[in-house]
Chain A
């Protein structure tokens, strides 16, 4: 019982990071209809910026939580302006290929700049784990587990609230719903796309800050996070922010439970099997935004 509980908590922790990354992916897709395959690269850069601030410059950790999302968000908006704006009239495949190679460029630039297998970032909270008696067993939680889980979920929920209730979110939803109509109502395409990329990339950067202590900083981080975020987003319905959170948590739990009770090396395969099952049974995802109409 205690073992199962610890395993699920471990799954929720990693799932919260996937959820945060998935929300960023969904925000950009909802507002701009672009599937951003460079998202993993932005997560990796977020983790790298955390390393630079916390380890190299020895700044307080809280500064990384504030500055990294702003930096990565600004970089995302800049990439949209420089790379994706000229592709706005191009067909879907061109844009997808553009983001794939943008992601590759970010990873390779990092590889060239940092000649190191892995950069380690310490956890924000260290110290002895918390022991909780559950019947005859003891359940162990680390402070880092609690912080990452609650922190990532809180930020993810705030992101959902901003998109749903603020005027910024309204502009993005309007642009996603009807670009021409939104422009006629006074919304600027450049502004809304820039904001969407800023927000989505900031969430990716923050996912990098949360992921850095448990995964380290390496080019592999880009691929592993974007793959999991993509699966989480698809499970959630791809256009649903709440669905991305549920998809991330579900994916994290399935990965960890399969690692615990089947095999660590099969956890990714089982995640893709979950994705396959969801697409087979409910291709619109678990929480589709668009309602079905029976005519």
Chain B
């Protein structure tokens, strides 16, 4: 039995008090976390050529945050979204620094595509802030592996490259010559680096043509494909670039080819550019189980929710980036919830790395993304990709 002498009782109280105050202080020092609130920082382009990702990124995240807060928050704390505009690489680094160092956010979400994710990669690795890469396919954010960086519904360039090559040969098993129409910016270049080795393993000739971001004229590229008599063209770029390339193709003599569109081009906004509600031979893949306009319960409810919050949507919205931002915010919320009340970067990273088959409906949301799983050595949440084509004026996931 331990007997505490009266003189020592005061000393023990002081020690216990110091420990309690120390712990409280340490808890208070966890950035972006108060007794009532957790601040999530996010960055992405709200204007410019890639705003079709950043604006839905902000809106989708805010929808999920609102829903989670209405349901009582996470372990008694409300979520708060602090979104910074960042379009160029320099803006992305500056926004990440501002959010982490000035705004003291608890977790950083990159809703910026490959350009922003690649730019911020070194900073987030060095800082150790828990980071969720929503859209960036670039290997720069994935390699070398960092224990604080997680990736959501959008798979790596290697995984999506395999899906692109598969779509070509599903549509035309006899294809002998494949064209690659590639943007000169980060996302398409990352995917080109992954697709080329896969195509070179197949018995096909490959013709590569490049274009600048925001291009509307593809004369030289399409004529090159016509001269080479390609059977299929894989387009790596945005929906507007893909749309105008496909639209111009007949004018340049390129007809009856299979078109396979990469990630961000698989967007309903491409349909009015094509001017055809059922264009033949246009294929892609989907990072989500359904497309936003597809008539299934989850997406119908999502559109209702979106319209209720933001009003009548503009052309092409909500898009797949709205779905991913919404669904992945729920995945992040699940990681925060499992980390418990004693929130720190360390506890969040540990809890995140143990998530298995987590989906939005676990916290009352809509299942608009595939279930995501993480381990300590694998931070890619999703690897599933559906087969997609345009039917009745919208992109639809169809059976393989």
Query: Are A7 and B276 in contact, with the CB atoms below 8 A?
Result: no
Beta-carbon contacts of A119-157 to B below 8 Å, as 1s and 0s? 111110010010000000010111001000000000000
Which residues of B pack against A, CB within 8 Å?
A: 47-52, 55, 211-212, 214-221, 223, 226-227, 238, 240, 243-244, 247, 250-253, 255, 269-273, 275-276, 314-317
Contact A3 B223 (CB under 8 A): yes
For the complex formed, measure the closest distance between the CB of B109 and the CB atoms of chain A, giving whole angstroms: 20
**A5 CB → nearest B CB, Å:** 10
> Would you call A116 and B255 a contact (CB within 8 A)?
no
Q: Is the beta-carbon distance between A117 and B314 smaller than 8 angstroms?
A: no
Kindly identify, within residues 241 to 295 of chain A, every residue whose CB is under 8 Å from any CB belonging to chain B: 255-256, 259-265, 267
* Contact in complex: A126, B240 (CB < 8 Å): no
Cβ A7 vs Cβ B240 within 8 A: no
> Which of B220, B227, B250 is the one whose CB lies under 8 Å from A264?
B220
* B216 neighbours in A (Cβ, 8 Å): 214-216
- Bound-state CA distance A3–B211 (Å) is 20
Given the known A-B contacts A142-B251, A264-B215, are A118 and B223 also in contact in the complex, defined by CB atoms under 8 Å?
no
Q: Is the CB of A129 within 8 A of B255?
A: yes
List 15 additional contacts besides A120-B269, A142-B251; criterion CB under 8 Å: A3-B223, A3-B253, A10-B219, A111-B47, A117-B240, A119-B315, A120-B240, A122-B275, A129-B251, A140-B255, A142-B250, A214-B216, A259-B219, A261-B220, A264-B217
**Residue from the set B47, B215, B253 with the largest chain A CB neighbour count within 10 Å:** B253
Q: In the complex, what distance in Å separates the CA atom of A111 from the CA atom of B46? A: 11
How far, in whole Å, are A270 and B3 apart by their CA atoms in the complex? 94
| Contact B215 A114, beta carbon cutoff 8 Å | no
Cβ distance B291 to chain A, nearest Cβ, rounded Å: 17
Interface residue from A7, A140, A213, A216 paired with B250 (Cβ < 8 Å): A140
Pairs across A and B, CB under 8 Å, 18 listed: A6-B253, A7-B252, A9-B251, A10-B252, A111-B47, A116-B314, A116-B317, A117-B48, A119-B314, A120-B270, A120-B273, A129-B255, A138-B253, A140-B251, A216-B244, A264-B221, A265-B211, A265-B212
User: What is the minimal beta-carbon distance from A59 to any residue of chain B, in angstroms?
Assistant: 15
Docked complex Cα distance between A149 and B390 (Å):
30
Question: Which of B269, B271, B272 has most chain A Cβ within 10 Å?
Answer: B272
Q: Is A2 an interface residue (CB 8 A)?
A: yes
B379 to chain A minimum Cβ distance, whole angstroms, is 30
Binary flags per residue of A47-63, CB closer than 8 Å to B gives 1, else 0: 00000000100000000
Q: How far is the CB of B167 from chain A (nearest CB, A)?
A: 23
Give the shortest distance, in Å, between A74 (CB) and chain B (any CB): 26
Residues on A with C-beta less than 8 A from B215 are 264
Minimal Cβ-Cβ distance residue in B for A111: B47
Contacts A111-B47, A118-B269: A260 and B253 contacting too (C-beta < 8 A)?
Answer: no
Check B273 against A216 for contact (C-beta < 8 Å).
Answer: yes
Check: A115 CB closer than 8 A to any chain B CB.
Answer: yes
Task: List A contacts of B251 (CB < 8 A).
Answer: 6, 9-10, 129, 140-142, 145
**Are B49's CB and A117's CB within 8 A?**
yes
Min CB gap A251→B, angstroms? 13
**Nearest Cβ in chain B — how far from A27, in angstroms?**
27
